[in-house]
Amino acid sequence: MSYTGPDFDPPPSRRFRRGPLTVALAALVPGALLGWAVYAAVGGSGDDGGDASASAGASASASSPAPSSAGASPSDESDESDESDESDGKKPSASPDSGSASASSSPSASAPAGTGPLKGKVVVIDPGHNPGNFQHTAEINRQVNIGTNSKECDTTGTSTNDGFSEAKFTLDVAHRMRSLLEGQGATVKLTQDDDRPFGPCIDERARIGNKAKADAVVSIHADGSGTGNRGFHVILPGPVNSGAADTRAIVEPSRELGERIAGNFVRATGNGPSNYVGGGTGLVTRKDLGGLNLSTVPKVFIECGNMRDSKDAALLTSGAWRQKAAQGISEGIVSFLRG
């Protein structure tokens, strides 16, 4: 998704409540980012002038820890419309997708929860942008109410310069996450699994998580920003109370979820936070995304990298790297749900 639309809100200052959970969270992201900084200084490629996500390709693979508590290795809201994606108006061609994880036999539905630390927990994964949106531009351009104003139902998403689409990327990462989280005993539901012609619209995506009474919802995306803009960022809901939107109850838990994901994403992938939004924190707060505004359960978005930058694109198109991304996001969810 491209961020040519509304300005980002600056990351809010830390809360002053100093309970044990808050203290732990306060240490989590800085520690992870410090670890990334040491990695970049000692083992990083250093070939991109100190960009926040300099640790690409093989270096990232070498520095990544072995899979941990999120389980064994094995789609928007993209509000995304909300995100004013740059999609060039053309349908990206399918690219070879080495290492892709297969979908379960029942699209969008979770397999029966097993035993594990997340038994009884419900996780909704929201893969941004349906691959079929390109054939349904009239439908996805329909306006829907997001509380503060109206936005398009959805967008097509972006793609790499070689035609690997954001929609394919998000579904692949979602499938990998589903395997990891179900292995931990969670009940997992996808908002879409390329099992419908287009959509769902951003308001419906929010309702899916609400109806499921999800303990955590994560919307998966990749950005479409300019060349040289690199790294991931996690988008948090800001306080909104307008029309059908009231995020006040989820702002704090969503921030905790986002911080956990950011810290684990750094450790799992070896890649640093965005060098173009978030002030190096990897965290951005927004009040203009319907998928967040209409959620009544903890929810965040993650932009895993920038598809329009060749170095980030090399990672996003790698099945091995997507497994690391899925691992990092999943471990962040596990950490959040286990407290």
Annotate 51-119 with three-state secondary structure: CCCCCCHHHHHHHCCCCCCCCCCCCCCCCCCCCCCCCCCCCCCCCCCCCCCCCCCCCCCCCCCCCCCCC
Q: What's the number of domains the chain is made of? A: 1
Q: Is the pLDDT of residue 329 over 90?
A: yes
Domain-embedded: residue 301? yes
pLDDT of residue 221: 98
* Lowest pLDDT segment from 44-58, 155-169, 234-248, 266-280: 44-58
CATH code, domain with 68: 3.40.630.40
pLDDT of residue 4: 32
Q: Which residues are catalytic?
A: 303
Cis bond leading into 65, ω under 30°?
A: no
For the entire predicted model, the pTM comes to 0.72
Domain-embedded: residue 34? yes
Domain-embedded: residue 205? yes
pLDDT of residue 111: 53
pLDDT of residue 197: 97
Q: Which residues is 301 bridged to in the sheet?
A: 219, 235
Domain-embedded: residue 109? no
pLDDT of residue 219: 98
- Residue 45 has which token pair? 């490629």
Q: Is the pLDDT of residue 311 over 90?
A: yes
pLDDT range class, residue 115, cuts 50, 70, 90: confident
Task: With beta carbons less than 8 A apart as the criterion, state whether 82 and 146 touch.
Answer: yes
Show the CA angle centred on residue 293, arms to residues 272 and 113, nearest 5°: 70
pLDDT of residue 109: 58
Domain-embedded: residue 225? yes
Q: Is the pLDDT of residue 275 over 70?
A: yes
Which position has the token pair 């936070």?
Answer: 273
pLDDT range class, residue 92, cuts 50, 70, 90: very low
Domain-embedded: residue 206? yes
Domain-embedded: residue 45? yes
**Which residues form the domain of 321?**
20-94+117-338
Mean pLDDT (the chain) is 78
Domain-embedded: residue 231? yes
